[in-house]
Amino acid sequence: MTDFKEAIESAERKCSQRGIKLTRRRREVLTTLLEANRALSAYELVNLCNESSNEPMPAMSVYRILEFLRAEQFVHKLETANKYIACKHIACEHEHKQPQFLICNDCHKVQELDTAVEALSSVETAASMLNFKLLNPQLEVSGSCGLCKT
């Protein structure tokens, strides 16, 4: 599991470049999410974090930490499922694009796409013709993943 160790190190480096701090608790929440390797609700995350800790975190702190991690693009929120997932580009040096997700209905695996936002800009154009402003331009598509497809 060198993968998420690298991700944590990158997150730490990015934080110090941005002049902020990845505190122990922030790191704990991010590590838990990376280890889980799936989307978790805030509630599940609180439980998981506290399972392995002798210093339990109140749910409110976990929520605040999640907001911080989201703002830094280390974590994304799936609005449709109301769950959180670790960004797959934490260790990447490229600029983060608008996150888009494929969500499997059967195994609930979530894949983050790194493609362009063309699909979305046509939605945006169509929406603006109806005078509708997109507040959350995040695409979340449900379906069946390669492993579940029969």
Residue numbers at the binding site for Zn ion (CB under 5 A): 87, 89, 92, 99, 104, 106-107, 109, 145, 148
Minimum separation from the CB atom of position 52 to Zn ion (A): 25
Nearer to Zn ion, 129 or 147 (CB): 147
Smallest gap from Cβ 77 to Zn ion, in A, equals 11
Q: How far is the CB of 108 from Zn ion (least distance, A)?
A: 7
Closest distance to Zn ion from the beta carbon of 50 (Å): 26
Q: How far apart are CA 54 and CA 86, in angstroms?
A: 24
148 Cβ contact list (under 8 Å, min separation 6): 104, 105, 106, 107
Is 58 or 143 the residue whose CB approaches Zn ion more closely? 143
Query: CB-wise, 46 or 69, nearer to Zn ion?
Result: 69
Cβ distance to Zn ion smaller for residue 48 or 104: 104
What is the torsion angle, in degrees rounded to the nearest 10, for the CA atoms of residue 118, residue 147, residue 43 and residue 78? 10
Alpha carbon dihedral 91, 94, 97, 99, in 10-degree steps, equals -20
CA distances from 4 to 35, 58, 100, 114, 126 (A): 7, 25, 21, 19, 39
Q: d(Cα 128, Cα 32) in Å, to the nearest integer?
A: 39
CB of 20 to Zn ion, least distance (A): 18
Q: Which of residues 107 and 116 has its CB atom nearest to Zn ion in the complex? A: 107
What is the sign of the dihedral through the CA atoms of 117, 119, 125 and 130? negative
